Amino acid sequence: MRLAELSRRSGVSTATIKYYLRERLLPPGHQINATTAEYDEEHLRRLRLVRAMIQVGRVPVAKVREVLGHVDDDSLGRTIRLGAAMWALPQVPEPDEDDEFVQAAEQEVITLLDRLGWENTKRLTTISSAYRSLVVAMAALRRIGYDWEAELLEPYAELMHRAAVLDLNLLETQPSEAERIEFAVLGAILIEPVLQALHRLAQEEETTRRYGFE
């Protein structure tokens, strides 16, 4: 298809597509002659991914390029590619290891992983941004006086594990490996706001069931 059709089918303006091409977020079209290039379904799919990251995820352009580099590097194994793509997304700052609240939170998170039997995750603590996020969130709670124990978090972690099983089942329905990797990136950006909204809606439902409407 020509640029005009790519624009029509994607809903992205031709000016924006040209910008993405210049920034190498989209591979060049197949040049037919000096002034005309042809685009295919893969361009359309990549355009959708780029838009999701930039418009919905508000990921900076340089970061998008970095994520796409991991997505496209098929010399890597699947877990590494899935992980590398996620790890390139916006990160929490490194926790301060000298902080007493961080140390206590880390202790509690390790206890949680032991209780859950998440042995694989325990091997990844030094490189996992999810692990760092949890330590930072728990340390923030401790700093204002909420010393939440692993026992309290365990049922939440089990629910989130079921959500992860749904995520990966969904991912495995994607037809090609490239699409599965892309789906993982989209999932991180797009599923999380949906889950958060569902959680709040469920809180409203449960609150009104228990206490009525007043």
Residue 38 beta carbon to its own copies: minimum distance, rounded to whole angstroms: 21
Subset of residues 139 to 178 that bind its own copies, contact rule: CB under 8 A: 140-141, 143-146, 148, 152-153, 155-157, 159-168, 170
Give yes or no for residue 4 binding its own copies (CB under 8 A).
Answer: no
- Determine the Cα–Cα distance for residues 10 and 116; give it in Å rounded to an integer: 43
Instruction: Find the shortest distance in angstroms from Cβ 23 to its own copies.
Output: 18
Distance in angstroms (rounded) separating the CA atoms of residues 102 and 3:
52
How far is the C-alpha of 17 from the C-alpha of 48, rounded, in Å?
11
Q: How far is the CB of 153 from its own copies (least distance, A)?
A: 7
Beta strand ranges found along 66-184 (DSSP E):
none
Cβ-based nearer residue to its own copies, 31 or 203? 203
Question: Which CB sits closer to its own copies, 32 or 80?
Answer: 80
* Cα Rg of the chain (Å, integer): 21
Q: How far is the CB of 86 from its own copies (least distance, A)?
A: 7
CA gap 203, 93 in Å, rounded: 30
- Which residues, 20 to 49, sit near its own copies by CB under 8 A? 48
Tokens of 52: 């999701």
